[in-house]
Amino acid sequence: MLLPRPASLQTGEGEFLLDVSTAIAAGSHLTSTALWLQSVLRPATGLPVPISPVARRPIRLGLRPDLGHEAYHLTVTAECVLIEGGSQAGVFYGCQALLQLLPPAVHRRARASGQRWAVPAVTVQDAPRFRWRGTMLDVARHFMPKHDLLRFVDLMAMHRLNVLHLHLTDDQGWRVEIRRHPRLTEVGSWRRESQVGVPQDAPGDGRPHGGFYTQEDIREIVAYAADRHVTVVPEIDVPGHSQAAIAAYPALGVGGEVLAVHTRWGVNPNVLNTEESTVAFYCDVLDEITDLFPSRFIGIGGDECPKDQWRADPRTQELMRQRGMTDENALQSWFIGRLGEHLATRGRRVFGWDDLLEGPVPPGTAVASWRGMTGARTAARRGHDVVSCPDDQVYLDYRQSEHPDEPIPFAVPLTLQDAYGFEPVPSGLSPHEAAHVLGGQANIWTEHMDNPRTVDYYAFPRLCAIAEALWSTGERDFDDFRTRLATHLPRLEAIGVEYRRETGPLPWQ
């Protein structure tokens, strides 16, 4: 049973059996998809699944340009599996659907004995509702090693998610090598400890945390994701959430004070100054970032920048006077605008949090609406593209239930059903305005997730529900979703995803 729910599925008679005679038949445009499918099918089935046009009962992959870009048709009969897509992405999603029709053991990494690799006869016609089906992963608060990040990309692709918004910098860490400014990672990638728990006075764990991706790692991550039709949208958060950069280069801060990489969570008063030299520094950073990430959109953050330091600093006030500004919001917009202009010269568009709407927004910006859906509505009405990620529906760092034993009972409960109810298009928009909604994304902030196992627990199965909200038509049927989820969880188990179970002991008890 497919998850996300396809646009249409009809069951037929009989089944297709994968055996030694099965081969993948694909034209040359689809070689990489064929190789990927082969690499997934081989370990558990132990079958050779060669790529060959001659096969008695083939899995045939083909392009059908008359279908939408990411659309696919999947037809399974006793003789053949036919997967046609509007593009390589469509064919890839058809392959993902095929995997879901096979026994869950297909996801195991070594030969699974006692299995019949049968695919029921079906006809599926499917296409996504939104083109931005994302997940924001915060690798700044707690680093996710490359190996685990690649696994996460596979899990996204399995759920037809296609944008990985990688939050690479924050107060607590800088996670990407920048060759022009090496101290960003030499100093900024490690901190002394992590705060444990929510209140500001919560104790530290006394253990250092850190790590970063080299430029070679990033190129590998981007290419691996691209093979799975996932675009990596990097985020360099400015002018708030920047203490790790200030720790590396104190001249970036207001007043030049030497600070450590931050060890506490929450909104931080230490922000960037807006000197020309700081703009130039970040243009250097963005040059390397755009060389590494081909994404049209580049995240610059813009969230939660307290203005107190700017207000209290005579030098900043002087800069504001010179620039003809009377309030600090204008200064923030000016700073973002300068980076936006720089990105535009490289053919890129700004992606930033809805806090940007407090001032003029650079042309071509896509706004991530996180404080409910208000930002989404405002942005769309102002003619900006929108990615919806309302905190009450898609913040996967929020606890999953009222249960007192949930780990770190952060924020309000956000249940599976809440996540399933996610509707990316705000109410009250005209069709023209609604067309600005590119889609939505789940946000995984990792203050309280210090390892990939915990990310699994917080992300799944809620991410399955959000994937369906982004892929499938707007109709919702939670009971139907739960029935399909029950057939989906064994796939996650076969992969080794430590998702949150509804019954049984919590993993840390």
Phi and psi of 74, rounded to 5°? -125, 125
Q: How far apart are CA 445 and CA 241, in angstroms?
A: 13
Binding mask 360-379 vs ligand TNX (x if CB under 6 A, - otherwise)?
A: ----------x---------
Which amino acid type is present at position 148? D
Give 310 or 445: the residue with its C-beta nearer to ligand TNX.
Answer: 445
Query: How does strand 231-238 pair with strand 297-301?
Result: parallel
Give 351 or 353: the residue with its C-beta nearer to ligand TNX.
Answer: 353
Give 303 or 385: the residue with its C-beta nearer to ligand TNX.
Answer: 303
Active site residue 186: no
Q: How far apart are CA 293 and CA 290, in angstroms?
A: 5
Least distance from ligand TNX to the Cβ atom of residue 240, Å = 9
389 in Cβ contact with 374 (< 8 Å) = no
Report helix, strand or coil for 135: strand
Give 183 or 371: the residue with its C-beta nearer to ligand TNX.
Answer: 371
Residues 421-460 interacting with ligand TNX (rule: CB under 6 A): 445, 447
Q: How far apart are CA 140 and CA 129, in angstroms?
A: 31
Catalytic residue among 15, 193, 220, 304: 304
Q: How far apart are CA 259 and CA 251, in angstroms?
A: 11
> Pick from 275, 304, 392, 423: which binds ligand TNX (CB under 6 A)?
304
Residues 51-70 interacting with ligand TNX (rule: CB under 6 A): none
Question: Any contact of residue 468 with ligand TNX (CB under 6 A)?
Answer: no
Q: How far apart are CA 501 and CA 488, in angstroms?
A: 13
Phi and psi of 392, rounded to 5°? -80, -5
Q: How far apart are CA 309 and CA 220, in angstroms?
A: 39
Give 351 or 445: the residue with its C-beta nearer to ligand TNX.
Answer: 445
Least distance from ligand TNX to the Cβ atom of residue 397, Å = 5
Question: How many alpha carbons fall within 13 Å on the CB side of residue 182?
Answer: 2
Least distance from ligand TNX to the Cβ atom of residue 201, Å = 18
Binding mask 143-182 vs ligand TNX (x if CB under 6 A, - otherwise)?
A: ----------------------------------------
Q: How far apart are CA 478 and CA 490, in angstroms?
A: 19
Length of the chain: 509
> Pick from 16, 93, 213, 353: which binds ligand TNX (CB under 6 A)?
353
Q: How many residues bind ligand TNX (CB under 6 A)?
A: 8
> Pick from 117, 152, 212, 395: which binds ligand TNX (CB under 6 A)?
395
Residues engaged in binding ligand TNX (CB under 6 A): 303-304, 353, 370, 395, 397, 445, 447
Catalytic residue set: 304
